[in-house]
Amino acid sequence: MPPRVKLVFLSLMVVLFLIPAIALYSELHRRSDIWWTPPSMMVPLAAGTDRVEVYAGDKRLDALLDGGQVQLLTSSGPIVLAKSDIRLRFNNWDRIRGERVAPLLIYGAACGVTALLFLLLLTGRLAYRGERDRVAT
């Protein structure tokens, strides 16, 4: 293979390797706290009962709040908390983790294939050798 053609193909393989490699790197180095419900979208305690139950001791938190048994100590004195004072933030990492597997595998496979092609081109294993004449019998 002529050196210019080989250089073109090698640089093409490098570029094709960098595309999934950068995507793979950005997926694996994302912040881990972005999967939490944003503070502005926190869920009231009553709306979150399908996903979580909060207990204090042996009693559910909503029962304690109904009975006026939960207080918040402030500088001006204790304040009895109501259900509307309690809000929840959920961590959705468990849902996102399953969705991330397929793209990560595809990016990894693309990196492996392009790295293999790069090495085959670099070592000359994919060089065109021309057709061989058939031997007459």
Per-residue model confidence as pLDDT tens digits over 58-73:
898 888 888 888 888 8
Q: Report if residue 135 sits inside a domain.
A: no
In tens, the pLDDT along 82-130 reads 888 888 888 877 777 778 888 889 999 999 999 998 898 888 776 666 6
Domain coverage including residue 123:
1-36+91-128
Identify whether residues 26 and 42 lie together within a single domain.
Answer: no
Identify whether residues 83 and 47 lie together within a single domain.
Answer: yes
The answer to whether the beta carbons of residues 118 and 21 sit under 8 Å apart is no
Identify whether residues 45 and 67 lie together within a single domain.
Answer: yes
Q: Of 26-30, 35-39, 113-117, 125-129, where does mean pLDDT reach its minimum?
A: 125-129
Identify whether residues 31 and 16 lie together within a single domain.
Answer: yes
Q: Which of left, alpha, beta for 106 (phi over 0: left; psi -120 to 50: alpha)?
A: alpha
Burial zone of 13 (CB within 10 Å; 0-12 exposed, 13-18 middle, 19+ buried)? buried
Predicted TM-score (pTM) of this structure: 0.52
Give the pLDDT of residue 123: 85
Identify whether residues 29 and 61 lie together within a single domain.
Answer: no
Identify whether residues 31 and 41 lie together within a single domain.
Answer: no
Identify whether residues 83 and 44 lie together within a single domain.
Answer: yes
Query: How many domains, in total, are found in the chain?
Result: 2
